[in-house]
Structure 1
Amino acid sequence: MILVARVGAEQAGLRLDDGVKQFFPQYSKGEIRRVIDWGGCSIGQLTVRVASRTLKEGDEIAFGVMEPERCIELVYQKGDLLYEDKDFLAVHKAAGFNSQRTPYQLKGTVEYAVEMYLKGIGLKEPARVVHRLDRGTSGVMFFPKNKQAATLISRLLKEGKVQKTYWALVSGSPDLAQWKVDAPIDKLSKFRYGVSQSGRLACTVFTVLAEAGGVTALEAKPLTGRTHQIRVHLKHSGFPIIGDESYGGIPAPRMMLHCRSMRFTGPRGKVIEAVAPIDTEFAALAPELERLVSPA
């Protein structure tokens, strides 16, 4: 929820946190300062993270309210990285974290944590988000470390030259060991997508990895890069992802979709690849699937 207020003469000169308290008295000063610290407050569309910022008449304040349980610190150290060279780095995004900043949050996102890592190694580059994973999806995320690398990987992604492999857990048993879904995807509402003839071309290849205990582990290779593509195509196939309740999946601690690996050819013909292990919640749902939890 985003609350908006405009500073009048009576609030001019106040600290930001005092002004927000006047506008929205239902929130405590502690809650207000937490929102400001986590990047959920902006003035004139610019994020402000200093509670003592002085307000001016006419300032427009946007105050984004986020659940306290989503305020989880995220820090990447060198040993946490899946891959790093002078041009790229790859991290393992855990389920439950946003890939990039939102109107509610900066701190605690993968983008912010990567930017802090880059600053920590002496780079003055921003964390450029060239591809995203949904909040509920875990796995590999690549970040370029300079403009040239950003241009390269953005082009490769656009041309479909980045090989992505996902793992998904679904209920039931598909009739085929492998199948391809070639069905266009369109936006149906603010947060939902679906197969529609008016949509953009989308193609995904699915392969059964293993089955046990009523759970099937699938490998998904998206040949295009549409929003929610794997989720929509699995729903279209009659096998929504476990935990993906938005698309008909049965409840689970998390959405069981994981970006297992990404691979592409970098500068000077170098093959660049990162592989991310699955988390305990993913593994626990299908403990019999030993091939999933064994090292790559």
Structure 2
Amino acid sequence: MAEHFHFSGQIPPEYAAWRLDQALAELLPEHSRARLQAWIKSGHLTLNGQTCRPKDKVRFGDQIDLDITLTPQVVHDAQAIELDIVYEDEDILVLNKAAGLVVHPAAGHASGTLLNALLHQCPQLDTVPRAGIVHRLDKDTSGLMVVAKHVRAQTHLVEQLQARTMKREYYALVYGSLISGGTVDAPIGRHPQQRKKMAVVAQGKPARTHYRVLERFAAHTWVKCQLESGRTHQIRVHMAHVHHPLIGDPLYLGRLKLPAGASCALKEHLRTFPRQALHAFQLGLIHPRTGEMCSWQAPMPEDMQLLLAALRQG
């Protein structure tokens, strides 16, 4: 199934003097740079009405026009994997991702992912970059995600992410008894020594997380976190950075901490909780077709509810 896609826009001032393919990768992040380069070379994309090369430098105000017919590009298999769909219409699909479900195929996870499930749920997604996936959740983070069912919707949603108008709120259970909420404003990049980890680093990308205390316990806190940016592992990295790592986090917790005076039941929950205690409970966005503000919520999953009950009992 083919889909026609048209994009028209101007180069913003912050991309002036960049290579054309670099600027396009920022303007159309739902498409790979290789794909954008191929469109430039084939003449489907023009700069100020003229054909161009990927390496051509752009100026502020340059006019970009892209007109292309998208053909099936997803090479992954469709798989009948059960999904918890919260909302669906002709433009978007909102789902409550289960902990343990990988979002996109990668090394070690060639199948059995959310992408494979989406191709089964909506076969037309084979023409949409990343099968319509707009943002990701870590494998062991549960909660709400939005999927675009066509490229126009995907472009609109990506623009919302860039403009920070998409609202994403999370429940997290962290170590330490926080007195009040706050904001972590610290750049995140790849850890300089441990490549599987992210870290707060001076040369990282800007990242900001707001957190608010919902309930305080003897040695732990239930917090609500809101993202302004969406960096890899952002909440996990930021909360660890302020010395309040998430319960169960396999990368950022460090040595297991069992508080003095905790009951045997709570200690057992802390020892055995199998993932970072993080759940994306609320998602708000502007609908790409109607322009209306929409919002959805997903209740805390059972494993986190049981952990929360154990924390309350002490």
- The TM tier, using the shorter chain, reads 0.5 to 0.7
Could you say which residue in structure 1 is the equivalent of 2:56? none
Report if the CA contact (8 A) 1:213-1:286 is conserved: no
* Deviations 1:119-159, CA, capped at 9 Å, x for gaps: 3xx77655222110001100001100111101100111112
The one of 154, 157, 161 equivalent to 1:153 is 157
Counterpart CA distance in 2 for 1:197 and 1:91 is 35
Asked if 1:203 corresponds to 2:208, the answer is yes
Asked if 1:270 corresponds to 2:292, the answer is yes
**What TM-score do the two structures reach when normalised by structure 2?**
0.64
Instruction: State how 1:163-178 maps to structure 2 within 5 Å.
Output: 163-175=167-179, 177-178=180-181
Report if the CA contact (8 A) 1:253-1:281 is conserved: no
Aligned to 1:255, the other structure's residue is in SS state coil
Counterpart CA distance in 2 for 1:111 and 1:190 is 25
Asked if 1:183 corresponds to 2:186, the answer is yes
Deviation at 1:274, TM superposition (A): 2.2
Aligned to 1:164, the other structure's residue is in SS state strand
Could you say which residue in structure 2 is the equivalent of 1:17? none
The one of 79, 82, 88 equivalent to 1:75 is 82
* Deviations 1:30-84, CA, capped at 9 Å, x for gaps: xxxxxxxxxxxxxxxx9687xxxxxxxxxxxxxxxxxxxxxx97223xxx31111
Percent identical = 33
Asked if 1:144 corresponds to 2:148, the answer is yes
Counterpart CA distance in 1 for 2:202 and 2:227 is 19
Counterpart CA distance in 2 for 1:118 and 1:237 is 42
The amino acid that maps onto 1:264 is L
Deviation at 1:272, TM superposition (A): 2.1
Could you say which residue in structure 2 is the equivalent of 1:62? none
Counterpart CA distance in 2 for 1:207 and 1:262 is 17
Q: What RMSD in Å do the two structures reach over aligned CA positions?
A: 2.4
Counterpart CA distance in 2 for 1:211 and 1:113 is 38
Counterpart CA distance in 1 for 2:204 and 2:236 is 15
Counterparts in 2 of 1:156 and 1:113: CA distance versus 1, 3 Å: same
Report if the CA contact (8 A) 2:187-2:200 is conserved: yes
Counterpart CA distance in 2 for 1:229 and 1:140 is 16
Asked if 1:192 corresponds to 2:214, the answer is no
> Which ranges of structure 1 fall in alignment gaps of 5 or more residues?
1-45, 50-71, 291-296
Counterpart CA distance in 2 for 1:211 and 1:265 is 34
Counterpart CA distance in 1 for 2:211 and 2:230 is 15
Could you say which residue in structure 1 is the equivalent of 2:96? 92
Deviation at 1:214, TM superposition (A): 3.6
The one of 285, 293, 296 equivalent to 2:307 is 285
Counterparts in 2 of 1:128 and 1:138: CA distance versus 1, 3 Å: same
Aligned to 1:268, the other structure's residue is in SS state coil
Counterpart CA distance in 2 for 1:211 and 1:239 is 13
Counterpart CA distance in 2 for 1:162 and 1:275 is 14
Aligned length: 217
Counterpart CA distance in 1 for 2:76 and 2:219 is 49
Report if the CA contact (8 A) 1:107-1:113 is conserved: no
Could you say which residue in structure 2 is the equivalent of 1:217? 222
Counterpart CA distance in 2 for 1:276 and 1:107 is 26
The amino acid that maps onto 1:273 is S
Report if the CA contact (8 A) 1:118-1:125 is conserved: no
Counterpart CA distance in 2 for 1:73 and 1:280 is 24
The amino acid that maps onto 2:226 is K
Report if the CA contact (8 A) 2:177-2:217 is conserved: no
Deviation at 1:263, TM superposition (A): 0.4
Report if the CA contact (8 A) 1:73-1:108 is conserved: no
**What TM-score do the two structures reach when normalised by structure 1?**
0.67
Counterpart CA distance in 1 for 2:155 and 2:76 is 29
